[in-house]
Structure formats: C-alpha cells, structure tokens
A = this chain, B = another copy of it.
Amino acid sequence: MDEIFLIDVRKSILADNENQAEEIRQDLAAKKVFMLNVMASPGAGKTSVIIQTIRRLKDRHRIAVIEGDIESMVDSEKILAEGIPAVQIQTGGACHLDAPMVTAAIDGLALDKLDLVFIENIGNLICPAEFDTGSDLQAMILSVPEGDDKILKYPLMFSICDVLLVNKIDYLQDSDFNIELLRRRALELNPRIQIFEVSCKTGVGFETWCDWLAKRVELKTN
C-alpha cells in the first residue's frame, strides 16, 4: 500500500518537473544560451573537468556555472577563483537537482550575457538521471578507479546521457579497467553516446572534448 502511494507522488513530482524543465528550455532558446548538465559519482572529478573545460573555452564563450551541493560551498569557490560567475544551490539533503532549483539558480544569472552554463549536479549516479534540468546536453563522468562495471549497475544514467567522459584515464595502466569493454557496453545500451577519454591531471583528451563541445555551443549561440 505504501508502495503505491509513493509511486503516485513520484509520478506527479516528475510530471511537474518536466513542465518546468520545458520552461527553462524555452527561456534558454530565446536567449541563445547552451546548458550542459554534468553528472557523476562523488569524487569522479566533476568540478575538475568543468574547470579544465572552462580554461580552454573561456576565451571563446561567456560561461557561468550552477553548482549543486547538499551543504558546502567549496566547489563554487573554486569556480569563482577561475573568474567565472557561479550560483550555488544547497539542496539541504536532496540527492539530485530538479528543474525548480535550476530555475531559481538561472534567475541569479545574467543570461543575456552568457553563451554556456554548466550545471554541476549532486554526486550521485541514480536520481539525477530521472530529473530533467532543461539542459541541452547530458554528460556523465566515470572515473577509471570506479571500475568498468558501473554501467551494469546504473544503466539509467548511462542511457540518458549524450556524453560519457571517462576521467582519470592516467590510472588505466595500473588498473584492470577494460576500456574496450566499457565502450562496447555503453554503445550497446546507448548507441548515440559520445565517449571521450580525459585526464584532469595530465590534460590528455581535453582538446578533443572541448572542440566537440564548442561546436555544439556555437550551433545554438550563433
């Protein structure tokens, strides 16, 4: 009985979220702003990947970041240190960002003066996959130390993402992570997924990823 009640509430929450995500999408379309939702486990390197991407694209696009965290402000401080505006969402316990939270954050940004907004979602491979944030592109980061079997356990996340960034690729040689197996499993589940191998430590792979992203941003903003 409890179970049925729970599911009804959840469906209604997801429907409300979908409506609000659509409003965000219309607002971003009118203002020609591209939004990228970045999702990953805790510690996979979301903030580091965003910073490495910002450093390579900030002369090309006007960028801002929406930072989601349960409690802290540490990631926003790192973004501000790059000279990029950041809006912090503190969810106070919630394990994902939703469209109402993103709407509130966007209200704190000067969209007319931006081309590209990153959302750094809460560190979680589960619920963020269910909540549309109105973004143009869904990206997930999987770091090599997490293992190549994560796709078996969190298939929804891998199936809704447009981009898979395999981070900490410098760990590959000391690990039993099978990158070819991961690629095959990811493409079987989600044939449209774009896979990039990167390392924030060595910088490898960022040129390819940033060029790819910049082209998508320019298609919308030009």
Contacts and interface: CB of A to CB of B under 8 A. Distances in A.
Interface of A: 2, 6, 9, 13, 16, 41-44, 69-72, 74, 93, 95, 100, 122-127, 130, 143, 145-147, 149-150, 152-156, 168, 171
Contacts of A13: 2, 6
Contacts of A72: 152-153
B93 A146 contact: no
A150 B93 contact: no
Nearest to A17: B2
A155 to B, nearest CB: 6
Copies in the complex: 2
B124 A95 contact: yes
Contacts of A70: 126, 153-156
Chain B CB count within 10 A is highest, among A42, A122, A149, A155, for: A42
Contacts of A168: 145
Contact of A95 (B41, B127, B149, B155): B127
Contacts of A127: 95
Contacts of A145: 43, 143, 145-146, 168, 171
A43 B154 contact: no
A150 B95 contact: no
Contacts of A124: 95, 124-126
Contacts of A16: 2
A25 to B, nearest CB: 20
Given A122-B126, A124-B124, A145-B171, 8 more contacts: A41-B146, A42-B154, A70-B153, A70-B154, A93-B156, A95-B95, A124-B125, A145-B146
Contacts of A154: 42, 70, 123
